[in-house]
Amino acid sequence: MEHDLFISHASEDKDALVRPLAEKLKSFTLDVWYDEYSLSVGDSLSASIDKGLKLSSFGVVILSPSFFAKPWPEYEFRSLVALESGRAKRIIPVWFNVERDEVLNFSPHLADKVAVIASGKKLAAIALEIMRVVHPKKFSALARALAARIQTQSNTELVDVRELQQSPLREPLSQDQLRRVRLIHESLFEVYPISWEQIAGNFQRDTQEFRERELRSWEHIAGTYSGIKRRHNLSRTEQQQLFQVLLRSSLGALKGVTEEAPAWVNEALDDFHRRLPNAKD
């Protein structure tokens, strides 16, 4: 697929939600197919829409009173349903100033889907819910960047960490997963003091496949942190620095260290990268 997502919408909703949402998603480094970016004067609207749908991994459908009244957004929706048949689910409904009964009257298929509720939420929170489904790897990178309050090389805008927790909870963590999360939480609490409910909830919001990948990533960070801390008498400031070094390395944002860096930094990086072959991308 050439694009991460396509946005299906009514033109009346552009200023209020669609254009700002598309820009926010792009600021999170997602590739968005959106008519103001992808259509030129003289282009066939239907041909461009079909191309966008066929080349996009997901379709974000902005459901609003204007959407329900417009023939073109309904056409886009029907195309999305056709493309989704027999394949992994690709439609992400966003409810914008509508209630469940209105969605049900328009499409029982859409009403049964877990939706992003846009009304009353900050734009970043809406974009993060979408990002978590469309590109969980990039979402995780942003979450780890926020954990250390660092700016990634992609210049992703920082947002409130609480906005990362807007996605719905999925299936409960298994007993083994709960044990692993507890070890991560206890190992890193002094440098990453979030509550048990927050850290467990963050993992529960991931799909099972991506949840396992994230558990391994955080286990690498926690294991290296605990080992280096145990072998060296690090001050509280150095412990925070170690955590940030490991987070930056996990993001690929740490290209090297200066000659003046303490020996434990190089030791931590060597230890961390020795663990990485055990994790699959």
What positions carry a catalytic annotation?
A: 76
Token reading at 91: 């439609």
DSSP state of 121: S
* Residue with token string 């003046």: 260
CA of residue 167 relative to chain centroid, distance: 9
Token reading at 217: 């990533």
CA-closest candidate to residue 8, choices 93, 84, 89, 86: 93
> Any residues with CB less than 8 A from the CB of 223 and at least 6 apart, and which?
187, 275
- 199 vs 182: CA distance, rounded Å: 9
Token reading at 169: 């909870």
Token reading at 160: 């409130």
